[in-house]
């Protein structure tokens, strides 16, 4: 473990050196982020999941730099060009970009103008010119005219020397570093439509003639422009002012105003236009794309976390309805564990309109299976089906609610669904998914590729490996944060439990099927290939709620059972008594149980857990109702105030489902009466809101909504001034610039 790495990470994230060292050591031992943040607080100084995750990501990048450093040292050494000074320079490099700049002159190259000039023996001439002395360039160049070597005249000699100088300049690490900063801070991104593509690219019409500072461009705009470029609709160009860039190079290279300096100036202009600008633009494109990807992925990740942690109805007997018109509605009944009991097809909507028959079927199934809640998918015919179900006259205690079915069709055709329901068709599987989502969104949504859930922003345009890594981290965090019921969890859900993975998750399910429910956490050790390390990482996040040992249904780790048992023994009671009696828990002196391994943070967590063993951190489930009589987009009227539910959040605003099969957009400027810079700070996914309809375009299916108290009123001057000031604050730009620079350094 490198002390240098530890110091770098501690400084970058303002963390104690000892805590960073402990996290890296635990990670190297195979511990997961959820386990470290939850059960190793004494060693890490109570670092949270985000901090531990940051350390994990940063140490990985630093080690990648080290691997590249070793490869570069080996390559230069094999060339016989590794000096002590160069070695120190390489060892001091703190980023991949700096390393590559140092290595560039030693990198094996294809044939270049410079290499051809060197073959003609013009390198000494280039060195003379580059020294920028007072000699006459033309007089010196005459000595290098040689027909046999292909240098036929004075101009060819000078041109060849300038080609060599241009390559030297383009490979100069100081020049590249300076230009890199300029491309970051001063580049303009310009997009233009390809001639003849105007009609085909109408969705990109805003970018047919577009130009703005790269450092200011929001991620969604950059990704949209890049998509337009990929589809051959737009051409993009990214660069700073050419004269300013060349002047910056001159400051690094030109030493005076001699005739030789004049030759160097000509060479460096060529170096910029032919070598440096294309190289720097490529780098800038890559890095700005990474920055945009990370911002878009952060938005997606935030949305996904909120969706996965949406309130769960819990274990209820549920009827789920996948609505439709011509093909009818598929109705399924699930027991409290989500097991499929029965399914039927009903046709209450157009064109069949067999409502009487459908009503009898639904009422019979509700009574037969003691249905406690009905989940209706929010797709085609959802509002009509909801109205029909409500008209049947079911018992008042039966909950009827709309459920977001995004991704259900993806699940129904997946290998996971075929494995669960090999004998049922996709419509039945889709309906089951809808019902289970109401019972436990987290347990069901982990079976679906997050990209198909519908809460992303340009998720198909961002780096897919980066996206998968981020989303997997979010899913893992949510699963372990909530905890998993060991005896009912699917293989997919168990896969995300700390320390398990697909193989062990499958082994657990197979063992459970063959041997019946687990009675204790300890019996997990009987599962094939379940080693001590995997058990240590996973056990605390698995629950057995009906276990004889109440701690098996809690987040108390088995390694701390003896501590709790000692607490009970000291109070002359049972562990069960500690759970039931807050007065008993109040008598516990935590300091009495502090050891080298168990400190106050863990002891406090234990007491909190005893108060509510296995508590679910998610909010309480609430039924949401759309506006009656508003079922289609044509039912919307400007000025209408209606209830809605936030379905997606982006950097430019929030989408709200108002029950008309087309989400409306609340632009960031319409989210609040005060200025909003980040929509996620104002609204949350699945939040129930009251919106005002401000614009409706039935033909293009566009709905504009507002959360302002008076969306049609004129903004107050004071607010207008504040908003204008906040839209382009120097501080914000400098902050964003600093972040972008950080991406380059990484």
- The CATH number of residue 168's host domain is 1.10.3500.10
Q: Give yes or no: residues 101 and 122 share one domain.
A: no
| Spatial separation of the C-alpha atoms in residues 245 and 255, rounded to whole Å | 17
Q: Give yes or no: residues 666 and 709 share one domain.
A: yes
Give the CATH number, domain containing residue 86.
Answer: 1.10.10.650
b/e burial code for range 307-321 (CB count within 10 A of at least 16 → b): bbbbebbebbbbbbb
| Spatial separation of the C-alpha atoms in residues 313 and 438, rounded to whole Å | 6
Angle 79-84-89 (CA atoms, 0-180°, nearest 5)? 95
Q: Give yes or no: residues 74 and 120 share one domain.
A: no
Alpha carbon 438 to chain centroid distance?
Answer: 25
Alpha helices in 499-624 (DSSP H): 502-515, 532-538, 561-570, 575-580, 582-586, 600-611
- 688-697 vs 653-657, strand pairing mode: unpaired
Take residue 25 and report the two structure tokens written for it.
């050591």
Q: Give yes or no: residues 329 and 431 share one domain.
A: yes
Q: Give yes or no: residues 71 and 151 share one domain.
A: no
Q: Is residue 684 a part of any domain in this protein?
A: yes
In the chain, count H helices and then E strands.
Answer: 32, 15
Closest CA to 275 of 179, 159, 132, 156: 179
Which pLDDT value is given to residue 468?
Answer: 87
Q: Is residue 565 a part of any domain in this protein?
A: no
Q: Give yes or no: residues 290 and 385 share one domain.
A: no
Domain enclosing residue 702, as ranges:
633-713
Q: Is residue 743 a part of any domain in this protein?
A: no
Q: Give yes or no: residues 136 and 240 share one domain.
A: yes
- Which tens digit of pLDDT belongs to each residue from 211-259? 999 999 998 899 999 999 999 999 999 999 999 999 999 999 999 899 9
Closest CA to 510 of 498, 526, 497: 526
Mapped onto helix, strand or coil, the DSSP state of residue 165 is helix
The percentage of residues in the chain with a pLDDT greater than 70, rounded to a whole number, is 95
Whether the pTM exceeds 0.95: the reply is no
Q: Give yes or no: residues 130 and 232 share one domain.
A: yes
Q: Give yes or no: residues 215 and 137 share one domain.
A: yes
The residue length of the chain stands at 746
- 234-239 vs 664-667, strand pairing mode: unpaired
Which pLDDT value is given to residue 545?
Answer: 84
Give the CATH number, domain containing residue 698.
Answer: 2.40.50.140
- Which tens digit of pLDDT belongs to each residue from 378-421? 989 999 999 999 999 999 999 999 998 888 888 999 999 999 99
Q: Which residues have C-beta within 8 Å of that of residue 282, sequence separation ≥ 6?
A: none
- Which tens digit of pLDDT belongs to each residue from 596-650? 889 999 999 999 999 988 788 888 888 898 998 898 999 999 999 999 999 999 8
Q: Which residues have C-beta within 8 Å of that of residue 329, sequence separation ≥ 6?
A: 321, 322, 323, 345, 346, 347, 348, 349, 358, 381, 385
Q: Is residue 477 a part of any domain in this protein?
A: no
Which pLDDT value is given to residue 714?
Answer: 62
Q: Is residue 69 a part of any domain in this protein?
A: yes
Confidence of residue 733 (pLDDT cuts 50, 70, 90): very low
Q: Give yes or no: residues 353 and 417 share one domain.
A: yes
Number of domains in the chain: 4
Q: Is residue 88 a part of any domain in this protein?
A: yes
Give the domain-ending residue among 439, 460, 490. 439
Q: Give yes or no: residues 250 and 399 share one domain.
A: no
Question: What is the distance in angstroms between the CA of the first residue and the CA of the last residue of the chain?
Answer: 20
The DSSP symbol for 621 reads: P
| Spatial separation of the C-alpha atoms in residues 545 and 474, rounded to whole Å | 25
- Which tens digit of pLDDT belongs to each residue from 166-203? 999 999 999 999 999 999 999 999 999 999 999 999 99
| Spatial separation of the C-alpha atoms in residues 684 and 455, rounded to whole Å | 12
Q: Is residue 204 a part of any domain in this protein?
A: yes
Is pLDDT of 81 > 50? yes
Give the domain-ending residue among 251, 274, 303. 303
Q: Is residue 484 a part of any domain in this protein?
A: no
Q: Give yes or no: residues 273 and 191 share one domain.
A: yes
Long-range contacts of 80-88 (CB under 8 A, 24+ apart): 81/106
Which pLDDT value is given to residue 735?
Answer: 44
Give the CATH number, domain containing residue 395.
Answer: 3.30.420.140
């Amino acid at each position: 473990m490198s002390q240098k790495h530890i110091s770098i990470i501690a400084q970058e994230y303002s963390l104690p050196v000892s805590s960073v060292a402990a996290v890296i050591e635990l990670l190297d031992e195979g511990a997961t982020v959820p386990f470290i943040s939850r059960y190793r607080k004494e060693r890490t100084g109570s670092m949270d999941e985000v901090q531990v995750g940051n350390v994990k990501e940063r140490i990985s990048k630093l080690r990648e730099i080290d691997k590249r450093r070793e490869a570069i040292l080996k390559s230069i050494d094999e060339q016989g060009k590794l000096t002590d000074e160069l070695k120190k320079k390489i060892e001091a490099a703190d980023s991949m970009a700096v390393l590559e700049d140092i290595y560039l002159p030693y990198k094996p190259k294809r044939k270049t103008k410079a290499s051809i000039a060197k073959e003609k023996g013009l390198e000494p001439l280039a060195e003379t010119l580059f020294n920028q002395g007072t000699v006459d360039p033309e007089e010196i160049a005459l000595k290098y005219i040689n027909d046999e070597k292909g240098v036929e005249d004075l101009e060819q000699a000078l041109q060849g020397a300038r080609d060599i100088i241009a390559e030297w300049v383009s490979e100069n690490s100081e020049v590249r570093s300076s230009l890199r900063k300029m491309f970051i801070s001063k580049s303009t991104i310009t997009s233009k439509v390809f001639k003849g593509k105007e009609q085909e690219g109408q969705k990109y019409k805003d970018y047919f003639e577009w130009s703005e500072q790269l450092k200011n461009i929001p991620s969604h705009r950059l990704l949209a422009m890049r998509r337009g470029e990929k589809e051959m609709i737009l051409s993009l160009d990214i660069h700073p002012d050419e004269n300013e860039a060349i002047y910056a190079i001159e400051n690094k290279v030109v030493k005076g105003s001699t005739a030789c300096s004049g030759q160097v100036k000509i060479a460096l202009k060529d170096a910029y236009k032919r070598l440096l600008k294309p190289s720097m633009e490529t780098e800038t494109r890559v890095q700005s794309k990474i920055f945009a990807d990370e911002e878009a992925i952060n938005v997606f990740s935030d949305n996904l976390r909120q969706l996965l942690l949406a309130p769960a109805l819990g274990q209820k007997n549920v009827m789920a309805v996948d609505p439709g018109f011509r093909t009818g509605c598929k109705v399924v009944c699930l027991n409290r564990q989500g097991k499929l009991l029965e399914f039927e097809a009903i046709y209450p909507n157009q064109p069949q309109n067999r409502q009487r028959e459908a009503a009898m079927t639904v009422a019979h199934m509700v009574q037969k299976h003691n249905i406690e809640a009905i989940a209706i998918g929010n797709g085609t015919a959802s509002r009509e089906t909801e109205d029909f179900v409500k008209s049947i006259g079911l018992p008042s205690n039966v909950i009827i609610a709309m459920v977001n079915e995004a991704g259900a069709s993806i699940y129904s055709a997946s290998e996971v669904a075929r494995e669960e329901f090999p004998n049922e068709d996709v419509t039945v599987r889709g309906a089951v998914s809808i019902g289970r989502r109401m019972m436990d969104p987290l347990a069901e949504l982990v079976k679906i590729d997050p990209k198909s859930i519908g809460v992303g922003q340009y998720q198909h345009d961002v780096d897919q490996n980066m996206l998968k890594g981020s989303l997997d981290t979010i899913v893992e965090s949510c699963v372990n944060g909530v905890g998993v019921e060991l005896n009912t969890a699917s293989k997919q859900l168990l896969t995300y439990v700390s320390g398990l993975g697909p193989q062990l998750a499958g082994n657990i399910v197979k063992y459970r099927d063959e041997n019946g429910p687990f009675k204790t956490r300890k019996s997990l050790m009987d599962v094939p290939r379940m080693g001590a390390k995997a058990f240590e990482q996973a056990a605390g996040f698995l629950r057995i709620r009906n276990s004889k040992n109440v701690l098996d249904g809690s987040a108390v780790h088995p390694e701390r059972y003896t501590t709790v048992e000692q607490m009970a023994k000291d109070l002359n009671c049972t562990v069960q008594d500690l759970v039931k009696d807050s007065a008993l828990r109040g008598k516990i002196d935590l300091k009495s149980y502090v050891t080298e391994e168990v400190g106050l943070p863990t002891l406090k967590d234990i007491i909190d857990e005893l108060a509510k063993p296995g508590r679910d951190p998610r909010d309480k489930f609430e039924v949401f109702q759309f506006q009656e009589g508003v079922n289609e987009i044509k039912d919307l009227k400007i000025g209408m105030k209606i209830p809605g539910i936030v379905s997606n959040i982006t950097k430019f605003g929030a989408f709200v489902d108002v029950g008309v099969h087309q989400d409306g957009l609340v632009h960031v400027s319409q989210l609040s009466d005060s200025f909003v810079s980040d929509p996620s700070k104002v609204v949350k996914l699945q939040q129930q809101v009251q919106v005002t309809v401000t614009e409706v375009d039935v033909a293009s299916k566009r709905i504009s909504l507002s959360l302002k108290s008076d969306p049609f009123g004129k903004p107050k001057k004071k607010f207008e001034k504040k908003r204008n000031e906040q839209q382009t604050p120097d501080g914000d730009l400098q902050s964003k610039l600093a972040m972008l620079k950080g991406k380059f350094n990484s």
